[in-house]
Amino acid sequence: MEAITIYGIKTCGSVQKARKYLESKNLPHEFVDWKTTPLDFGFLEWLIGEVGIEVLLNTKGATYKKLGLKERALSPAQKQQIMLEYPLLIKRPVIVYKPSSASAMQVLVGFDESRLAEVFG
């Protein structure tokens, strides 16, 4: 594994579980906290291209409900703009990694221990 970066917020339980998992496997990783590092439009656009906006948008979280987004018919562009303004709307963690055998970066969204074991051992 060449590079692993976890994006999210440090107080999120799913982010903490993912970080602990990688640490238990002695896999070094970088952590980017969206509360202190603003989300970049180009990066969000790339993520959406990799996994799709519906995978990224956390429709079960408190922020989604608080903003009343369920009742609004939002276009993909509107969803993207709202995710830029409210990064807590993005399902966490977002793990970007580059396997040694691949030429491109890969993305995992959400905490799934069996999927992490499949990818990272």
- Please say if 12 is a catalytic residue: yes
Side by side, the strands of the sheet bearing 3-8 are 30-33, 3-8, 94-98, 106-109
SS3 content of the chain, % helix, strand, coil (to 5): 45, 15, 35
Lookup result for tokens 């060449």: 2
Residue 52: name the closest of 13, 5, 96, 109 by CA.
Answer: 109
Q: Which of 4, 6, 9, 12 is catalytic?
A: 12
Catalytic residues: 12
